[in-house]
Chains A and B, each alone.
Chain A
C-alpha cells in the first residue's frame, strides 16, 4: 500500500541556520509529490510540488525540495530559516491510480531566536 513517512516528529533549528525535513514514500510508480505547511489554527498551504521534469523544485518562502527516485525521497530544504517558518510541515503523495492524496504524519519545526 502507498505510504508516506516523515521520520522526524520535531526539529529545532536556530534562526538563520539551514533546514532539511525528510520525506520518504512508498509507491510503485512515479508519484506526484507535495509539501504543505500548516501554521497554528490554519489550514494547509502548498509550499511546492513535483510532477515531472527537473528533480529540484522551487517553492514559496525560499523553500526547495529534491526528488530522488533511487531513495524514494522528497526532502524539503531551506538555506536560512526565519522565525516565521515555525509551523508543521506535511509531505504528501498523489497517484494516477487513485484520486487520493496521502499525507505523512508531519514534522513540527521550532525556531530558536
Chain B
C-alpha cells in the first residue's frame, strides 16, 4: 500500500511570502490531518478533515493559514503571509476514521524555513 505523499519536502521563503503544501493520503482513508511540528516540540494539530468537511480547525491561525480538501482526497495547506514563527515541519497524516482510537499514518513532512 502506498503511503501518505507530501510535497514539497523542503521550502525556503522570506517572511510575508506565501507557500502551499500538498498531501495525498492513503487510498480509502476518510480522515486527513495537518500537524505543525516546531523544532524540539511534538506535533500540534492544525486541522482535521473527515472526507471533505472540517472536523476541527480550532488551532489553525485562520488569519494566515488555510486548508482545503476538495473531493475528499488530496489536501492543500496554504500560508499567506508567512511569519518567522511558521518555520516548522508540516506533517500530513490520514486514518480510516476520525475517532480517538484511530491509528494515523504520517507522511515524511514538508520542512518550511521562513527567513
Contacts and interface: CB of A to CB of B under 8 A. Distances in A.
Interface in A83-98: 90, 92, 94-98
The size class of the interface chain A forms with chain B is 20 to 34
B115 interface: no
A103 interface: yes
B91 A43 contact: yes
B40 A94 contact: no
Interface stretch (B14-22, B78-86, B93-101): B93-101
The 7 closest A-B pairs by CB, nearest first: A94-B100, A103-B42, A43-B106, A44-B106, A95-B100, A99-B98, A43-B108
Nearest to B107: A43
B55 interface: yes
Contacts of A94: 99-102
B100 A99 contact: yes
Interface in A66-103: 90, 92, 94-103
B98 A32 contact: no
Given A105-B41, A106-B42, A45 B106 contact: yes
